Chains A and B, each alone.
Chain A
Amino acid sequence: MSTCKPLARICIRNRQPSFLPLPQRRHESTTRRHKKLLNLPAAPSYTPDRSQPTLIFNPPSSAPSVYHTPLKFLPKDDRRRQLYAAFQTAATQTAHRTASPAVAAPGTPLSAPSFLPPRPSAGLPPPVRIPYDKKYHLTDADIVEIQRLRREDPERWTRVRLAEKFGCSQFFVGLVAKNEGKAERVESEHERSRARWGVRRRTAREDRGRRRELWGRDA
């Protein structure tokens, strides 16, 4: 069964090691089990609860339109604030009331997170980078120390090492202790290695820069 392979591959295992006994998990080795696995319940909009013909609105998933202003961006006196708040409470109540189907109960293969739409929960998705707060903890003496180290031995005390030592960002080190000679040397070194590039690498880099500009332009 070649069709089994991709599904088996996307089955995500628990990343965190746990000391609980592993539950027995069966693989989808037969066509029948496979079909049952793929037999997901239809979208709620396709199964109307009334007999009268209703409008089926089931658009493909896409990024929200930028013309829909988020609740936080609305001014204080905008009428949409109450509408959004009312919708939010109603949607949460409905989501919590809807029971999960038996086939997706915990312990079955369908309970794996890749098969199910995300359940409504209070938890937010994980951050892309670890959030940090600015500490503003360096004193004038620290800054003088940073400048002295950077001036005396720029090869040893790079921006990265200074940032690690003093617990600040590299940007801040560059801000308070700029070393022009070192920057020029590094830049000329980079320029020399860039001069050795061939046509393909150079065009690939230029194209990457051009694509990077399109990120902020929605293209």
Chain B
Amino acid sequence: MKRIRISRCAQQLLAQPSPRRPLCPCATVLQRNITPHNHRIQARFQTTAAIQNNEDLEIEIEEPSASEAIESTSRSSAPQRRRRMRLENLPSPHPSAASHSAKLSALRARLSLHQRFPLQTLARTLVHPSADPDPAFNNASLSILGANLLGYYTTEYLMCNYPRLPMSVIFAAQYAYVGPKALATVASEWGIEAAAEPGGEVDPGLLQFKRIKSGDDVPPALRRQAPWKWNVTTTHKIVATDEFGSNNAPPGPHSLSATAVPMEEAAQSFVRALIGALHLHLGSPLVKRFFRDHFLSRHLDISTLFDFRTPTRDLSRLCAREGFEAPVARLISETGRLSRHPVFVVGVYSGKDKLGEGAGSSLNEARVRAAAAALKAWYLYRPIEVTVPSSMEGELDTSKWKPNMVDCGEVIV
């Protein structure tokens, strides 16, 4: 059977290659190592592997004036206006390298982003402040914007769809949807790889951040800290700290410029910065669709986030507050009462209505579980029609708006 030459078969679809691409630092290395037209050899290259000294590995930059201090090494009194500078001296890849990076183009295509979204911005979202302290080249500002957008969209989704959720459950659900661990998982699912060491010669499609050396401890800003006082109230958590109800406010992205950070921190800053950049370049409708596809589509069973300490007492308080009859636990069915493994099925009734049902190996266990189920059924109420506030942004016609339900709050015993 005749082999199809892969290099030929799709060539008409590809863009015409530019004659010389001196800015791609890896091109010479790749061409040196690959046998031409032999596609069976699958060579893997580490982008951060040592690249030999070439004339191609230099870039022409403008000589910085005395006021701006991008590079300390380039501040020599060179007589010429433009001079060639080594890529290794840059803290992060030059923006012009973004348009030649295969990884960035692949990432943009993988996320189904519009062609209008520039690769240079995508490359900038991948630069953590620990790699490049210059705020004009790292993703700190974009990640602040993106964090606020993510928090806003998640909160409005949760509060409009589950209007009765207790605050602690909202915090936990926020953390599960857009918390640091969730964002790092999302980034790894998108196929984001990290550079071993940030630098100007690295492929801009890699996540750039200063890694923690093996054996070193996490920087103190990212470590869990003792709360500023021990009775931190829910109001303080809502007002003063982040959207996940932490005891302390998290470190700002700009403050991490000098420290080495774990991969999770860098990955979450990338995802947030990408959201912020999408908002700036493509507008909020597209960001909302992106958020729905990539974050709300992740399954979260909110009923597992509850932790009741005294469910029976909470339920009787709830019934008294809402004017229902006092809850009564009733034994629906049982088996093996005198055996080693009995099962009791107990329902909690208020008047003639069953509120919840639970099974347990003792009457007490079944009763408590039934009360917890009834409380969950109260808190997990979901209205049928929901219009989130962000869906009416910039619309003049407000006839589609339906006011959302606002509950009077959780049960406080």
Contact = CB atoms under 8 A, between A and B. Distances in A.
A128 B354 contact: no
A47 B352 CA distance: 32
Interface in B115-171: none
A72 B327 CA distance: 12
Interface in B341-400: 345-347, 349-360, 363, 365-369, 372-374, 376-378, 380-384
A23 interface: no
Given A128-B330, A218-B372, A73 B378 contact: yes
B373 A66 contact: yes
Of B352, B358, B367, B381, most buried by chain A (CB within 10 Å of CB) is B381
Interface stretch (B66-74, B180-188, B270-278, B299-307): B299-307
Given A67-B303, A125-B331, A125-B347, A75 B405 contact: yes
Nearest to B370: A63
Of A64, A68, A215, most buried by chain B (CB within 10 Å of CB) is A215
Given A63-B373, A66-B303, A67-B303, A216 B380 contact: no
B179 interface: no
Interface in A115-131: 118, 124-129, 131
A151 interface: no
B303 A128 contact: no
A217 B358 CA distance: 12
B127 to A, nearest CB: 42
Contacts of A73: 355, 377-378, 381
Contact of A126 (B304, B308, B331): B331
A215 B331 contact: no
Of A73, A75, A126, most buried by chain B (CB within 10 Å of CB) is A73
Contacts of A217: 306-308, 372
Interface in A167-219: 215-218
Contacts of A71: 353
Interface in A94-118: 118
A79 interface: yes
A63 B309 contact: no
Contacts of A67: 303, 377, 380, 382
A78 B377 contact: no
B401 interface: no
A70 B307 CA distance: 21
A69 interface: yes
B356 A66 contact: yes
Contact of B331 (A78, A80, A128): A128
B276 to A, nearest CB: 34
A218 B306 contact: yes
A40 interface: no
A8 to B, nearest CB: 16
B355 A70 contact: yes
B380 A72 contact: no
Contacts of B306: 216-218
Interface residues of A, number: 27
Contacts of B368: 215-216
B328 A69 contact: no
B328 A131 contact: yes
A138 to B, nearest CB: 20
A125 B347 CA distance: 9
Contacts of B380: 66-67, 69
B332 interface: yes
A131 B331 CA distance: 13
B311 interface: yes
A216 B309 contact: yes
B29 to A, nearest CB: 54
Interface string A46-77: 00000000000000000110111111111100
B324 interface: yes
Interface in B301-347: 303-304, 306-311, 324, 326, 328-333, 345-347
Contacts of B365: 215
Contacts of A66: 303, 356, 373, 376-377, 380
Contact of A127 (B303, B331, B358, B378): B331
A208 to B, nearest CB: 11
8 contacts: A68-B377, A69-B382, A72-B351, A73-B355, A75-B381, A75-B405, A215-B368, A218-B376
Interface of B: 303-304, 306-311, 324, 326, 328-333, 345-347, 349-360, 363, 365-369, 372-374, 376-378, 380-384, 405
Closest 4 CB pairs of A and B: A216-B308, A66-B376, A125-B330, A128-B329
Given A66-B303, A125-B332, 16 more contacts: A63-B357, A63-B359, A66-B373, A67-B382, A72-B353, A72-B355, A80-B384, A125-B331, A127-B330, A128-B330, A215-B360, A216-B310, A216-B372, A217-B308, A217-B372, A218-B306
